[in-house]
Amino acid sequence: MEHFDWGQYALFAVLLCVLVVVEHFWPRRKMSGGAWGRRRVNLLLYGVGGLLMWWVAEPVQTAAVRMGASLGWAGLAGAALPDILKIVIGVLLVDVIQYALHRASHAIPLLWRMHQVHHADAAFDVTTSVRHHPLEVMALAALTLMLCAALGLPLVSLLLYAVLQLVHTAFCHANVAIPLPWDRALRWVMVTPDMHRVHHSERMDEGNSNFGMIFPWWDRLLRTYCAQPALGHQDMHLGLANDSARPDGFWRAVCQPFGKLS
Ligand SMILES: [Zn+2]
C-alpha cells in the first residue's frame, strides 16, 4: 500500500475545485446541459482506475525495478553528469515517453480500444483529464515505468514529472478562456488548453495531432503539431465521430474497449 501515491488524489481534488470555479466564470466554450452527468462518469472512471492502481502498484513497480536491474547498466542515473542535469534530462525523457505512448495509443488498435474512452467525452473540461479506462491507466503506468527503468531515469525525475503532469493535465483540459496573446506565448513552453483541445476534435486529422503531454516541442519536431481547429474553438466538434447518438454512461465507458471500434 505504501507504493500507492495517495497524494495525487488530494492534489487533484484541490485542482478540480479551483478549475471548476474558473471554468464557470471564464469558460472558453459554452458548456451544454447535463455537464454534471458526464463529469460524474469521468470521476467514477478516475476512482475505479485509482482502486485498480492501489491493487497493482506494488507488483508493477517491483517488476519494473527488476527488469531495469536485469539490463546490467545504470543508464542516465549512472552518467557522469551533474545531478541537476540528470534530473532535468530525466523529466524531458519521461515526457518523450509519454508523447510516444500517446501516439502509439492512437496507432495501435489494442491501445486505441482503451484510449478511445478518453476521446469519447463529448465535451472538454477539467474532469476530461481523468477520464481514462482503468485498464489503460494500468497499462500505461506499467509501460511508462518499464521504459523509465530501461533508460535508468533518476527516481527524482519520475516523482517530479508525476506532480508536474497531474497539475498540467488538469490545466490543459480545462475549459478556461486564456487570452490569445498569452496562449500564443505559453504554447512555446507548454501544451495549452487550446492546443490540446485540437487533439479532442472529432476530425481524424486534428485528433491525430498534438500528442504532447506537458511540453509542445515533440509535436513541432515530429510534425504532429496543429495550431488551431479548422472550424474554430467555438464550432469544432469534440469526441468520437458517429458516437454522439449513443448515451454516455459509466458502464458504457467500461465496456467500450470490448465493443466495435469507433
Ligand atoms: Zn489521445
Sketch the domain layout of the chain as residue ranges. 7-258
Compute, in angstroms, the gap from residue 78 CA to the centroid of ligand 1: 34
Mean pLDDT over 188-199 rounds to 97
List Cβ neighbours of 18 (8 Å cut-off, separation of 6 or more): none
Compute, in angstroms, the gap from residue 86 CA to the centroid of ligand 1: 29
Compute, in angstroms, the gap from residue 84 CA to the centroid of ligand 1: 31
pLDDT band at 108 (very low <50, low <70, confident <90, very high): very high
pLDDT at 8: 82
Compute, in angstroms, the gap from residue 43 CA to the centroid of ligand 1: 18
Instruction: Give the residue, 262 or 89, on which the prediction is more confident.
Output: 89
pLDDT band at 110 (very low <50, low <70, confident <90, very high): very high
Specify whether the CB–CB gap between 128 and 31 falls below 8 A: no
Residues of the chain above pLDDT 90, percent = 75
pLDDT at 235: 92
Q: Is residue 36 pLDDT above 90, yes or no? A: no
Q: Is residue 71 pLDDT above 90, yes or no? A: no
Distance CA 221, CA 215 (A): 11
Q: Is residue 1 pLDDT above 80, yes or no? A: no
pLDDT at 126: 95
Amino acid at 12: F
Q: What angle do CA 111, 12, 183 make, to 5 degrees?
A: 80
pLDDT at 259: 81
Specify whether the CB–CB gap between 158 and 94 falls below 8 A: yes
Q: Is residue 10 pLDDT above 80, yes or no? A: yes
Compute, in angstroms, the gap from residue 72 CA to the centroid of ligand 1: 34
Compute, in angstroms, the gap from residue 256 CA to the centroid of ligand 1: 15
Compute, in angstroms, the gap from residue 30 CA to the centroid of ligand 1: 23
Distance CA 147, CA 150 (A): 5
How many CB atoms sit inside 10 A of residue 25's CB?
8
* Separate counts of helices (H) and strands (E) for the chain: 12, 0
pLDDT at 245: 55
Residues of the chain above pLDDT 70, percent = 95
Compute, in angstroms, the gap from residue 196 CA to the centroid of ligand 1: 9
Amino acid at 69: A
Q: Is residue 262 pLDDT above 60, yes or no? A: no
C-alpha dihedral (19, 38, 175, 101), degrees to nearest 10: 100
Which helix (H) or strand (E) segment is 191 a member of? none
pLDDT at 3: 56
Compute, in angstroms, the gap from residue 178 CA to the centroid of ligand 1: 22
Distance CA 115, CA 111 (A): 6
Distance CA 91, CA 156 (A): 9
Q: Assign 238 to helix, strand or coil.
A: strand
Instruction: Give the residue, 72 or 235, on which the prediction is more confident.
Output: 235
Compute, in angstroms, the gap from residue 209 CA to the centroid of ligand 1: 9
pLDDT band at 6 (very low <50, low <70, confident <90, very high): confident
Compute, in angstroms, the gap from residue 193 CA to the centroid of ligand 1: 14
Distance CA 58, CA 67 (A): 14
